[in-house]
Structure 1
Amino acid sequence: MNKKIAILRGINVGGKRKILMADLKSLCGKLGLENVKTYIQSGNLIFNSDRKNAELENDLEKAITEIFGFDVPIIVRTGKELETTISNSPFLDKDVDINHLHLTFLKEKPNKENIERTLAYDYGPDKFKIDNKDVFIFCAGKYHQSKLTNNFFEKHLKVGATTRNWKTVLKLSELSRS
């Protein structure tokens, strides 16, 4: 079985769209996912499944809507995909403080025209690089003060997105190996 990571967007933030991790874990078991683990309350799942990522995204989204009554966009990656993403980070070097690094996961690869249009924006000193279905972000200050948000990338790339800080990305990778 392949290790998979599901990243849920916008749950348990500010007391809205609440899903208890125990309930989410139970739901995953009902969908046939195995060895389900959760990581922090913001909606990160690690599990085993040989099903395709897109199928898992669809089934999880549909089940959450039916059970909890609201839509939750979900992005699924394999553990190997996440390891490759981490190794491709253009901002990771020995001198960078990882507290300034973030990764925006894209639901699908954006088209070339939307990528080019998005790359025209410069919000220095914050920087970003789009690589396939990932957007690597370096924020000179705090992420919540940056203009490089989920909404920015969804609006300009015209694909679904959700962001995690680099420490969470590394922890998800670690958990997918255990």
Structure 2
Amino acid sequence: MKYAVLLRGINVGGKNKVLMSQLREQVQKLGYQQVETYINSGNLFFDTQEPYPEIHQKLKQFFEENYPFIQAFSLFDKESYQADLNQLPDWWQEDLARKDVLFYTDRVDKEEAQSRIKAMPLKNEVVHFGQLGVYWGKYDEKEYLKTAYHKYLIKEPYYKWITIRNGKTFAKLASYL
């Protein structure tokens, strides 16, 4: 089974440095096959027959021991990615000013996050709740500073536990999965 691990807050502004080549080697030593990374922002892929709970626990312990600043990550398999992709609304295929996926990690209460987002006053933006995360589209770059995404999201208690990828990176994940 092919899995993706999306790390939060690494290699940003010179902080929390993780060398992707070193990470690939370390993950291979954990027993995973066909380990790959995409760009320097913490997108990791591998094959394994281990069940999800074992993978999650092994990675959690690995990060605690080797990269203690990685306190949350998103882990999902190819089928879960495909299921979310198949459920995306039509607007996701439109040429929007911005598209982002706010991937849930194991530290996010999905229902609470969704409830808080539903209460936000959306301005020139659209939201879809998937199983892996929140898909957020912004229609107009000029209005971006007025959007709920810009004004409210960063202030939310769950914000430090999500990991965000733009629409292009989300699409690129498919080629690795």
TM-score bracket, normalised by the shorter chain, equals 0.7 to 0.9
1:97-112 aligned at under 5 Å gives the runs: 97=95, 100-107=98-105, 110=109, 112=111
- Are residues 32 and 16 of structure 1, via their aligned partners in 2, closer, same or farther at CA, if it must alter by over 3 Å? same
CA contact (8 A) 1:117 1:156 kept: no
Q: Find out whether 1:6 has 2:27 as its counterpart.
A: no
| Count of paired positions | 171
1:27-46 aligned at under 5 Å gives the runs: 27-46=26-45
Q: Find out whether 1:148 has 2:146 as its counterpart.
A: no
Q: Secondary structure at the match of 2:156?
A: helix
What is the Cα deviation at residue 147 of structure 1?
4.3
What are the ranges of 5 or more consecutive residues in structure 1 without an aligned counterpart? none
| Residue in 1 that maps onto 2:22 | 23
1:15-164 aligned at under 5 Å gives the runs: 15-90=14-89, 91-93=91-93, 96-97=94-95, 100-107=98-105, 110=109, 112=111, 115-140=114-139, 141=141, 145=145, 147-148=148-149, 152=153, 155=156, 160-164=161-165
Query: Which moved further from structure 2: 9-18 or 74-83?
Result: 74-83
Q: Secondary structure at the match of 2:6?
A: strand
- Are residues 131 and 45 of structure 1, via their aligned partners in 2, closer, same or farther at CA, if it must alter by over 3 Å? same
What is the Cα deviation at residue 63 of structure 1?
1.4
Q: RMSD in angstroms over aligned alpha carbons?
A: 2.9
- Are residues 116 and 64 of structure 1, via their aligned partners in 2, closer, same or farther at CA, if it must alter by over 3 Å? closer
Q: Secondary structure at the match of 2:92?
A: coil
CA contact (8 A) 2:81 2:132 kept: no
| C-alpha distance in 2 between matches for 1:107 and 1:37 | 20
| C-alpha distance in 1 between matches for 2:111 and 2:170 | 26
What are the ranges of 5 or more consecutive residues in structure 2 without an aligned counterpart? none
| C-alpha distance in 2 between matches for 1:157 and 1:73 | 11
